[in-house]
Structure 1
Amino acid sequence: MTSASSRVSAFLSAQANDYPELTQYERMQQLYSGKLWHQLTDLVDEFVRDPETTRGENKVQLYEHFICEFEGRMNQLRFAQVLTEICKLQAETSDAVALITTTLEKQARLGQEATIYLECALGLFRLSTQSEADRALAAATIKEKRESVEGLGGDDTTVPSIYYQLSSTYYKLVGPPESFYKDALMFLVYTPMESVPQEERYTLATDLSLAAITGNGIYNFGEVLATPILSALEATPNAWLSKMMRVFHAGDIDGFGTLMDEHAAAIAEQPAITARVDFVKEKIALLAFMDLVFQKPAHERGIAFAEIAERTRLPLEQVEWLVMRAMSLKLIKGVIDEIEQVVEVSWLQPRVLEVGQLEQMVGRLDEWTARVKETQVFLEEQAPELLQF
């Protein structure tokens, strides 16, 4: 009976002869013979991820004739990643599903993180089949594993990354857009941008922008602007979406109207927007109102309806409805004086701020510090006994 070592040696020698330019095969044999499992894992991981080393089905064969011989000696999370990369090269999705399903029978060896990783990878392959049954299985994985993923400790973000990739892909297919938006943002939190292919960045930036603009309950655009993802839209047909995101973040009604006119043809090709035009217009009006409140010092937040109408470009008779809508969405808290046509705003929903907005905050803090100093000087001059302890 041929030993595993002999089989491995014969396979790697044959591959090295077939592909002499791929010197990694010879190095693999050296590391395997020396039982240097960590270094071998690094080399195999790098090899399977590099598209330049792909020759037909050589990487599928690498698993079948080599990796399977020592997979138990690998770091199991790294093994799960290697296996997933190889499955992406399978000719049929069903073959990838079968291989991962078989591997998941070894959960005792895999451990929690590698198991979750492979279950999420399996979910992604199932979503690609467009089968309702497979989609339901992927949904079950998302529901069952969310708590486990959120409870993971450590610095490795590999498992959360693939989990949120799965969940955001699922919600992109079935909706609602706000669920996709939330989990796609979490994917960005856990995923280094350089690890995402350029084409996927472009698609993700487009989808995130559309979800932010059309999704219910999304009024904090700074979360996306704080990531580099929108740079993927630069110099592309969807560059206007990046501008639209910044317009919404600033609550710029006039800028919104300009973009709608300038890019009418491109916008007409986006059913996510055209199907919710009235909602999108309502959202930009609410954001314009929120920005107006933000611009006001905390002690000057009694805002006249006429000023709100001017800022939002709404008829005066629609302002009260807009304010009540903002309150119902918990974007602001305050009291409406219908007689005086004024709203006293006591609270504004926190948002992620850009540099310009942060500079405004710094300016207000400086003003507040100056007023406190003036008050202190006044008290020292007029009522020094109050400052004695």
Structure 2
Amino acid sequence: MDYIEQQALQYPDMADKYNKLGDLFSRKLWHQLTVALLEFVSDPANAEAGGGLVRLCTEFVANFEAKMNQLRFVQILCAVGKTCSDPLVATQLFETALEKRERLGPEASLLLESELGLLVLRAGKVAEAKEVVEKGKVAVEELESAETAVHSAYYRLSSEYYKTVGPPDSFYRSALMFLAYTPLEGIPQAERYTLATDISLAALTGEGVFNFGEVLATPILSMLDGSPNAWLGSMMQAFNMGDIDAFNKLCAENQETMSAQPALVSRATFTKEKIALLCLMNMVFERHSQDRNIPFEEIAARTKLPVDQVEWLVMRAMSLKLVKGVMDEVERLVHVSWVQPRVLEHSQLARLADRLGEWRGRVDEAHVYVEEQTPELFG
């Protein structure tokens, strides 16, 4: 209480807030005090005016931290750590808390380790961060709780780590998981545009990324609207639809801007191959199941490739397990029996709905025909 009284006197404009914390402490209302503390430390105004959030932890919270919900206690520490101008102060705060790992439990420990790993990574200690990421991957998969804060912290660390060391595929997957567990408003405004840019570039250049529907379904790409990188959002749409004409148009219109992106410059040949593969996938998806014998010439016309490269394109798609089927080199046909499942956007869903409607119509016709031909069965 000495600390609370000192702070209330030193910062009169915050006296009511400090007195509320003191009152809850005196009455031993630990749950209410935990909620009030989390609200207090999460308000940037308190950090700027009070100037003593680390002291709040070491001189006040430390006296009853064992009585608190341990996950909420760690969330309080993490919020305080983010206000520290010196990363070493936050590191010391987290390391001290992790000495009581057994009391914290697996969830709170993983959350704290993830935040500590982020500080380590930003300090340039990549090898140490890698150890935290690899260890955390096992731990996060074993969690049974639906608490999203833990998953969000881990996948934020994982995405930043893979952004640093690569490959783009791993960054893309981690960033998607981060977005799945983190509402857009939970991401600092300054970071949203950077994340939208980075995840778009990773999707375009990642060797194993052929499903764009997942990221297009999130609101993060809206951060590109009206920005210098707005073309990236359009490029993502073109890749998702396998639209080579739109791709070529965007490349022509944004040649200078694209040249300023090292990831695209170094992977220029691959991105052209990738849009052709996505074009083939969409071509198959658009056709009825009974109309999957596709002539080489038709594929060449759609993908804007010479006919003699179609066979290579199809073999590449099969090797990547994007499609399954058989090539008839004599008839110059490709019979596709399967195409990789993907998250569909609205126009693709509408096309699928139309196809289901057609299928239902054929089933009804078959039913009527059977009734007419065999009335004794339905009498």
- 1:14-163 to 2 correspondences below 5 Å: 14-22=6-14, 23-55=16-48, 57-130=51-124, 134-163=125-154
Gaps of 5+ in 1: 1-8
Give 1:231 deviation, angstroms: 1.1
Structure 1's consecutive aligned runs of 4 or more residues displaced over 3 angstroms after TM superposition are: 382-385
CA distance, structure 2, for counterparts of residue 198 and residue 238 of structure 1: 16
More displaced 10-residue stretch of structure 1: 341-350 or 255-264: 255-264
User: Which of residues 192, 195, 199 is equivalent to 1:201?
Assistant: 192
Give 1:113 deviation, angstroms: 0.9
CA distance, structure 2, for counterparts of residue 68 and residue 137 of structure 1: 28
Show the counterpart of 1:252: 243
1:274-314 deviations in Å (ceiling 9; x for gaps) = 10000000000111111111110111011111111111111
- Asked if structure 2 preserves the Cα contact closer than 8 Å seen for 1:198 and 1:232, the reply is no
Residue identity matched to 1:51: P
- Asked if structure 2 preserves the Cα contact closer than 8 Å seen for 1:124 and 1:166, the reply is yes
Give 1:388 deviation, angstroms: 5.8
- Asked if structure 1 preserves the Cα contact closer than 8 Å seen for 2:371 and 2:378, the reply is no
Instruction: For residue 137 of structure 1, give the secondary structure of its aligned residue in structure 2.
Output: helix
User: Which of residues 179, 186, 189 is equivalent to 2:170?
Assistant: 179
Show the counterpart of 2:323: 332
More displaced 10-residue stretch of structure 1: 57-66 or 244-253: 57-66
Give 1:185 deviation, angstroms: 0.7
CA distance, structure 1, for counterparts of residue 46 and residue 227 of structure 2: 30
Is 2:278 the partner of 1:284?
no
Q: TM-score, normalised by structure 2?
A: 0.96
Question: Percent same amino acid among aligned pairs?
Answer: 53
CA distance, structure 2, for counterparts of residue 154 and residue 313 of structure 1: 50
Residue identity matched to 1:140: E
- Asked if structure 1 preserves the Cα contact closer than 8 Å seen for 2:244 and 2:276, the reply is yes
Q: TM-score, normalised by structure 1?
A: 0.94
CA distance, structure 2, for counterparts of residue 11 and residue 264 of structure 1: 60
CA distance, structure 2, for counterparts of residue 137 and residue 293 of structure 1: 46
CA distance, structure 2, for counterparts of residue 155 and residue 89 of structure 1: 27
CA distance, structure 2, for counterparts of residue 263 and residue 69 of structure 1: 59
1:6-48 deviations in Å (ceiling 9; x for gaps) = xxx2221221222222231111111111111111111111111
Residue identity matched to 1:24: K
CA distance, structure 2, for counterparts of residue 40 and residue 193 of structure 1: 28
